[in-house]
């Protein structure tokens, strides 16, 4: 079965075409600058890269361009009709969706309703779904939710200490994000340790421009660092993570508008805010080596927060098989992994510096020392493969229902 995976942003569409169930990537690409004067598509197939530039009016035109490129004589598809299923990344599924689902009018209505909880993500996700349905109306489509893996979080972990009617009326609670990534690396870590997927107790650490951690008990999420929105938790590229909310009241009293506070917390803070230079960890590490004190402070605060969450989640879990690093920073920033795990011998966590230095460039393996009672792993995430697999399984069962 050929499955197209679509990740639709406000002005972009990422895509990968898979041959399932082998999970073999046939081609991948990115449509960017949709709705701007000059758009582009970059298409990867085998060892070839094809880039075309031109105006792309909207997502529907972008989706049409993807299908045209996939079946346009590049040796990928003879026709777009070879695509048998489409899997869509959707950020927020609220409390309604605890797993990936076949898209129906009811599902679309629910995704639209949850747009209040993810106004920057669900609307473009919906735009991509509608564009794909318009171009391939007879092809089954599946929604894969970032929040779904965290549906198993218990009430004690997702409830905020706010007046309870705010939860009942507005759904204000912890939802968590990056769930597809956390699920993927937890499952892969279980395989690496020779455990069943529902036998592993681990802490998954997703570090990119957005960062989050999850406590996984017996293969299921029981707590996670992001909350109602992706702002809570770890220090991120441009987001604050945890901080005293009264700071916002303090700044509001001094003339800051709500819109400017939102911008400050989500786009001007984190690594960028502390360093004053960049949200790119690679550049900050370079600046730190050159003696830039604020870059060094940004890195130290970033790593300290990770270490603190490891301790909290170890306490919540009670036992720990592994700490698993993933995401662009988690997979490549050797000093970050070392600092985040330093001084954790009390938890049985210790890394081997030589192994740590080798584990870069999407390499997978253990970086823990032989003396470590807990495995420390690096696992490159593959959210697209997880979406492709969910889509394949759902569509296959729909075509051949299990008696």
Question: Can you say whether the dihedral through the CA atoms of 147, 151, 153, 157 is positive or negative?
Answer: positive
Contact assessment for residue 100 and residue 145, using Cβ atoms and an 8 Å cutoff: yes
pLDDT one-digit tens code per residue, 150-204: 999 999 999 999 999 999 999 999 999 999 999 999 999 999 999 999 999 999 9
The per-residue pLDDT for 339 is 98
Active site residues: 146
What would the 3-class secondary structure string for 258-282 be? HHHHHHHHHHCCHHHHHHCCCCCHH
**Model confidence at 331: pLDDT above 70:** yes
Question: Residue ranges of the domains in the chain?
Answer: 2-145, 196-383
Highest mean pLDDT among 26-40, 123-137, 247-261: 247-261
The confidence score (pLDDT) of residue 402 equals 44
Query: What's the pLDDT tens digit per position in 196-242?
Result: 999 999 999 999 999 999 999 999 999 999 999 999 999 999 999 99
What fold, for 2-145? Answer: Nucleotidyltransferase; domain 5 (3.30.420)
Distance, CA of 365 to CA of 355 (rounded, Å): 9
Q: How far apart are CA 208 and CA 334, in angstroms?
A: 14
Q: What is the pLDDT of residues 10-40, one digit of tens each?
A: 788 999 999 999 999 999 999 999 988 889 9
Model confidence at 403: pLDDT above 60: no
Average pLDDT over residues 344-351: 96
**CB atoms inside a 10 Å sphere around CB 367:** 25
Share of the chain above pLDDT 90, in %: 87
Contact between 175 and 147 under an 8 Å Cβ cutoff? The reply is yes
Domains 2-145 and 196-383 share a fold: yes
* Nearest in space to 353 (alpha carbons), one of 343, 336, 338: 338
Distance CA 54, CA 261 (A): 36
Instruction: Determine the average pLDDT of the residues in 282-307.
Output: 98
- Fold for domain 196-383? Nucleotidyltransferase; domain 5 (3.30.420)
Indicate whether this model's pTM tops 0.95.
no
């Amino acid at each position: 079965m050929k499955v197209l995976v679509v990740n639709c942003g406000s002005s972009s569409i990422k895509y990968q075409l898979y041959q399932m169930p082998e999970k073999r990537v046939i081609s991948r690409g990115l449509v960017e600058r949709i709705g701007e004067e000059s758009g582009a598509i970059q298409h990867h197939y085998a060892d070839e890269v094809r880039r075309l530039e031109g105006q792309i009016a909207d997502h529907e035109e972008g989706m049409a361009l993807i299908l045209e490129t996939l079946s346009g004589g590049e040796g990928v598809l003879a026709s777009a009709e070879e695509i048998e299923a489409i899997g869509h990344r959707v950020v927020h599924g609220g409390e309604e969706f605890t797993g990936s689902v076949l898209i129906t009018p009811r599902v679309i209505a629910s995704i639209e309703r949850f747009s209040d909880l993810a106004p920057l993500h669900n609307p473009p996700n919906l735009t991509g779904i509608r564009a794909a349905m318009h171009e391939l109306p007879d092809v089954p489509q599946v929604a894969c939710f970032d929040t779904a893996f965290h549906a198993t979080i218990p009430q004690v972990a997702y409830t905020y200490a706010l007046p309870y009617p705010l939860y009942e009326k507005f759904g204000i609670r912890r939802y968590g994000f990056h769930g597809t990534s956390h699920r993927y690396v937890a499952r892969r870590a279980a395989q690496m340790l020779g455990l069943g997927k529902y036998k592993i107790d681990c802490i998954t650490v997703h570090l990119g421009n957005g960062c989050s951690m999850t406590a996984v008990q017996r293969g299921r999420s029981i707590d996670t660092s992001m909350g109602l929105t992706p702002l809570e938790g770890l220090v991120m590229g441009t987001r604050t993570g945890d901080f005293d909310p009264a700071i916002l009241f303090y700044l509001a009293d001094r003339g800051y508008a709500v819109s400017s506070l939102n911008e400050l917390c989500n786009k001007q803070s984190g690594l960028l805010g502390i360093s004053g230079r960049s949200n790119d960890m690679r550049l900050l590490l370079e600046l730190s080596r050159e003696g830039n004190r604020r870059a060094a402070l940004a890195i130290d605060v970033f790593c300290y927060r990770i270490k603190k969450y490891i301790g909290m989640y170890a306490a919540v879990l009670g036992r720990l098989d592994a700490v698993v690093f993933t995401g662009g920073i988690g997979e490549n920033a050797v000093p970050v992994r070392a600092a985040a795990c330093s001084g954790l011998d009390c938890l049985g966590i210790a890394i081997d510096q030589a192994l740590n230095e080798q584990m870069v460039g999407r390499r997978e393996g253990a970086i823990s020392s032989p003396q470590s009672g807990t495995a420390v792993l690096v696992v490159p995430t593959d959210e697209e493969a997880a979406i492709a697999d969910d889509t394949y399984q759902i569509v296959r069962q729909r075509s051949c229902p299990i008696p």
